Amino acid sequence: MEGGSCHEHLPEKGERLIQTWVGERELLGPRPTDKHKQGENTMTINIENEEITKNESETLECGIILPKDKYDHAIDYLTANPEDIYEAWGSPGAWEGKGGELFGFVAPDWTDSNAAADGCSTRVGTCGCLQQIREAKEEGYDGSKGDAKMAYWNRLWDLIASDRRIPVSGEDITVEDLPVFAEWQREIDQKRKQDGFL
C-alpha cells in the first residue's frame, strides 16, 4: 500500500480490527494456529473508549474491520459486571448472552459439559473449558483422559494447555483475561464450522 492509504479505514468505536502484524514487536503473540507463516503474528485491536493514536496506526498494515460478535458483547457485559465472571465461568450455558460464551467447553456444543472427546477409543473422558484444560496440564494430564480435562480436537489440547495467558483457576479469571478467552473461542468456532457443528 502506498502512502498509508489503508489507514483511512481505521475502525470506529465498537468495531474490531483483525490485523496481521509482521515485525519484531509482538502485541498479542503468535496465534495458536498454523495458518500464518513463521514470524507473522495476528492481533485483534478492540476499539472501545480509546482511539488508535497516530504512532500506533503507522505500524499497522491493512486489516479487516468487523462488527462486534458475541464474544465482544460477552466481554462488554462482564467488564461492566465483573462480579459475574465466576458464575458465568461455572455455568456457561446458563449465562449465554451474559458472558458464558467465553467459557464454553472445547466441544462440538459449547454448552455440553458431558461431551466426550473425539470418539477415539484410546481417549476416555469429557471435554473441559479452556481454564480446565490449562489446569489439567498443571496437574500432569496430557489430554488423553479425564473428566472435564480434554478437548474434542486433540490437536488443540496442547496449544490451549500451554497458553500461560489462561488462568489455572476459575477464581483467578479477571476482566483482563477475557480477550484471551474470546480469541480461543473464535478459534474453536472455526473448528466447529470446519467439522459441520455450526
Is 61 in the same domain as 84? no
For the chain of 198 residues, list the mean pLDDT of each consecutive stretch of 10: 46 55 39 41 45 39 78 97 97 96 95 72 77 95 87 91 96 97 97 91
- Same domain? For 42 and 82 the reply is no
Please say which residue of 27, 44, 66 terminates a domain.
66
Question: Are the C-beta atoms of residues 160 and 134 closer than 8 Å to each other?
Answer: yes
74 and 157 in a common domain = yes
**pTM greater than 0.85 (yes/no):** no
Same structural domain, 22 and 120: no
Q: Same structural domain for residues 179 and 97?
A: yes
Predicted pLDDT of residue 173: 98
16 forms beta bridges with 46, 66
Residues 76 and 150 in one domain: yes
Domain boundary pick from 47, 66, 85? 66
**Segments forming the whole domain that contains residue 57:** 5-66
> Do residues 91 and 119 both lie within one domain?
yes
Say yes or no: 42 and 77 in one domain. Answer: no
DSSP assignments along 49-91, one per residue: SS---HHHHHTPPP-EEE---HHHHHHHHHHH-GGGHHHHHHS
pLDDT value for 27: 40
The confidence score (pLDDT) of residue 144 equals 84
> Number of structural domains, the chain?
2
Same domain, yes or no, for 58 and 96? no
| Residues β-bridged to residue 46 | 16
- Say if residues 126 and 150 touch (Cβ distance below 8 Å): yes
Q: For position 154, what pLDDT does the model report?
A: 85
pLDDT for 64: 74
Q: Specify whether 45 is located in the same domain as 136.
A: no
* Sheet containing strand 64-66, strands side by side: 40-46, 16-22, 64-66
Residues 35, 87, single domain; the answer is no
Domain co-membership, 103 together with 15:
no
Look at residue 14 in the predicted model and tell me its pLDDT.
58
